[in-house]
Amino acid sequence: MSLKRWFYRGGRPNRVARLLDRATAGLYARGVAPNYLVMLQVRGRRSGKPVAVPLVMTVIDGERYLVSMLGEGTNWVRNVRAAAGEVTIRHGRRERVRLEEVAPQGRAPVLKEYLRRAPNARAHLPVAEDAPLAEFERVASRFPVFRVVSAERL
């Protein structure tokens, strides 16, 4: 088992991964990373407290997207759905946005670009980066994709 899979065995971060995620989210929020690395902050569906997660943003035709490399069961995805998509993303500055879930039939191109942008996700998505789009369509329903809508467009 690769180290990347060990950190998220069973689709959930272990103690080490949570510690690393917390530190990484702080760096992304401060803007100390490339601009496609962001911190997502969403209200916890049970605790009501803000939850911060480091994510890789993908941009296609000027539209921004966030992908759950661990699939449907991740806490941040469930929290985003419970919050009706109302979240904050940070990369040097705070931006209130709404996340709109992309239907499975529209996810394949985003997943393909996401794998190119986030090489660590290869351990979790069962498709090669250079695979044809049809292969991404085959697994698209298992990996939520959210379009980022900025406050100016709401």
pLDDT per residue as tens, the chain (154 positions): 566 667 777 666 778 877 777 777 776 777 767 788 999 999 999 999 999 999 999 999 999 999 999 999 899 999 999 999 999 999 999 999 999 999 999 999 999 999 999 988 888 889 998 999 999 999 999 999 999 998 765 4
Domain ranges, residue 125: 3-153
Give the type of residue at 30.
R
How many domains does the chain contain in total? 1
- We report the CATH number of the domain holding residue 113 as 2.30.110.10
H or E element, residue 51? strand 50-60
Q: Tell me the pTM.
A: 0.84
Positive/negative CA dihedral, 40, 42, 44, 49: positive
